[in-house]
Amino acid sequence: MVYKNANHVLPEELILVIQQHIDGEYLYIPRKEENKKGWGELRNSKTLLEKRNETIFMEYQRGTPVQQLANTFYLSPKTVYKILAEMKKDR
């Protein structure tokens, strides 16, 4: 998140009104609903994790042990089991 100085982007009258409610503190202004992005859309994280999980599932089906998958992908065995359960459920 990038902070902007209100003095540079808002009219002085609006700043004075806002200061009546919150003076010198941070204020979060949420995005408009139509401008919101889903998780992972900005940096392709969601796609990368889906591909990783698909690879884990395929390797597991080929006989790779869970502990080896956990080590390979720097995950705990518990996390690998969760991924496998989710992948099985989606099939």
The span from the CA of 30 to the CA of 32, in Å, is: 7
Domains for the chain: give ranges and CATH numbers.
Answer: 6-35 (no CATH), 45-90 (1.10.10)
User: What digits encode the pLDDT tens for the residues 16-38?
Assistant: 999 999 998 989 888 898 888 77
Per-residue pLDDT of the chain (91 residues; tens, 9 = 90+): 788 999 999 999 999 999 999 998 989 888 898 888 777 677 788 889 999 999 999 999 999 999 999 999 999 999 999 999 999 998 7
DSSP state of 40: T
pTM: 0.59
The span from the CA of 56 to the CA of 74, in Å, is: 12
Q: What is the mean pLDDT of the chain?
A: 92
